[in-house]
Amino acid sequence: AADPPGLQGSSAQGSGSPDAPAAVAISTDGWLLTSAALLPGGPLDAVFGDGRRVSLSDSRADPVSGLAIVKADQAAVQPLALADQGVAQVGTFGFGLTTLTGNGCAASSAMVASDFMADGDAFLSYVRLQTAVDARPGVPFFDSDGRIVGLTASEPDGALIPAAIAALIADELIRGRSSATASFGFRAIDFGPPIAARLGDIRSGAGVALVEPGSAADRAGLQAGDVILAVNGTPVSSASELSRQIGTVSRSARLDVSRRAQRLAVAVRRP
């Protein structure tokens, strides 16, 4: 089944609920990507659009992004493609897809109207839809080519977590190895050319994609859209290189940061 299932407690009756957390299959061995915000406590089931109800055996969450993965055992699932590069551009048209009651899927169309740079958000490199497709976090949003370009976020209203960020975090959760940046309360990706050009034509460094409110990175003043150029004076050219450099830090680090036209020094400490 390729339809995005809904999740609910195993003790719940019926085929599903409009309030059930949304999820999307991301691997052939049963891993589903969802939001940690609405996961009920205790045993969980996945309810698919054809009415099938499948028990879930494992749940892993990422506190920085609020995303989670759950494992559907002994279920034939068809993974859906997550766009692996960049952030959806303003004007991108698509649709959100959900399974509400275990009886087929519901689709809601929308267009990307703005993004985190236009809105001035400091925590999440999101894009915002002109009209929200669903009030629940974790609903997949597809572009016209059928790729998932984002998942609805807990806040702000109508925002999508870009699929490139979600795919990175899901991969780490499946492998059981988080990026070293997560221990400081932020996540980084490689910004694509359209975003890089708006940030000042940055050609190297790692883009800050998520900052956990109240984290060490937040207290230090790091913001979504910042580009980290060096760690303790050592240049970094990519998000993977940043993770390696941050991984060698024992207690604190000095980050050389580009923020639009500014150059900043940000000191972060492990909690």
Could you please state the CATH topology (level 3) that the domain comprising 6-72 is classified under. Answer: Thrombin, subunit H (2.40.10)
CATH number 3.90.550 given to 93-166: no
Output b/e per residue, 173-194; b: 16+ Cβ within 10 A.
Answer: bbeeebbebbbbbbbbbbbeee
Instruction: Mention the CATH class of domain 179-269.
Output: mainly beta
| Domain definitions of the chain by residue range | 6-72, 93-166, 179-269
Fold matches, 93-166 and 179-269: no
- Specify the pTM: 0.81
Q: What angle do CA 236, 153, 150 make, to 5 degrees?
A: 65
Residues forming a β-bridge with 71: 31, 58
Q: Are 71 and 46 in contact (CB under 8 A)?
A: no
Is omega for the bond preceding 156 within 30 degrees of 0, making it cis?
yes
pLDDT in tens, the chain (271 residues): 456 666 765 544 444 455 567 888 888 888 999 888 777 677 778 877 777 788 888 889 998 888 999 998 776 678 888 877 667 788 889 888 877 655 667 788 888 888 887 777 677 787 888 887 776 788 889 988 888 998 988 777 788 888 888 998 999 999 988 889 999 999 998 877 667 677 765 677 898 988 999 999 999 999 988 999 999 999 999 999 999 999 998 889 999 999 887 899 999 998 8
